[in-house]
Amino acid sequence: MSTTSLNIEDIKWLREQTGAGVMEAKDALARAEGDRERAMRILEQTGRAHAEKKAGRATANGTVTSYIHHGAQIGVLVELDCETDFTGRSEQFRELAHHIALQIAAHAPRYTSEEEIPEAEKAEVMATLEEEARKNNAGKPEQVLQKIAEGQYRKWKEANLLLEQAFVRDQNKTIQQLINDLVLQVKENIVIRRWARFQVGV
């Protein structure tokens, strides 16, 4: 499909959904032959690729954001880093930091990513899930039981890892995808450097 024949409303919709620039949105729609949903998936893949390419670049700028939940029973501090002061001061970047703090307050992740999970804990979780799979699916082949346990481990990661959690305000996107969307837009590496969650009485 030619970019000249693209629907303006489709471009606008795609930009609102993903935060992509005009040219990225046009290119994705052209590759998707005008299919909005397919174009959005293309941009998500592109965003992931951009994020992976930039992952090693230094992030010496950013922001520290706080969030206090209603009733002042839960509080969160997040340091979100980027490459330039310009991006660090931008509204989109600060909004992303706020969304991440909100996510941590709402879903209390244990780790940011899988790399942070101690090997001993990972082995213990897998052993427990394998045992449960055998108990609940007696008689099934070992290969099937292993796949069931692996599926449960993926669910465990989605519950416990911040980057793999579904965003509290949009269940169709993970926190990693939110970050990738902004990486695609600002062309910089963005990293959750550290965070802390406080809850009264816990």
Please name the amino acid found at residue 202: V
Mean pLDDT of 185-189: 88
Indicate the pairing of strand 61-68 with strand 170-174.
unpaired
Q: Is the pLDDT of residue 98 over 50?
A: yes
> Average of pLDDT values for 94-117?
96
Question: What share of the chain in percent tops pLDDT 90?
Answer: 54
Residue 2 confidence (pLDDT) = 46
Tell me: pLDDT of 50 over 60.
no
- What pLDDT is recorded for position 1? 54
Q: Tens of pLDDT along 137-181?
A: 877 888 888 899 999 999 999 999 999 999 999 988 999 999 999
Question: C-alpha angle with apex 141: 140 to 144, nearest 5 degrees?
Answer: 90
Residue 29 has pLDDT above 60, yes or no: yes
- Asked whether the beta carbons of 103 and 165 are under 8 A apart, the reply is yes
Question: What local confidence, expressed as pLDDT, does residue 49 receive?
Answer: 54
User: pLDDT value at position 3?
Assistant: 46
pLDDT at residue 202, as a whole number: 82
For residue 13, give both structure tokens.
Answer: 């919709």
Q: Can you tell me the mean pLDDT for 53-67? A: 79
Mean pLDDT score of the chain: 87
One-character DSSP codes across 118-140: -HHHHHHHHHHHHHHHHHHSTTS
Q: What is the pLDDT of residue 56?
A: 56
Q: Does 9 or 55 have the greater pLDDT score? A: 9
Give the residue-averaged pLDDT of 13-39. Answer: 78
Give the CA-trace dihedral at 54, 57, 59, 60, to 10 degrees. Answer: -150
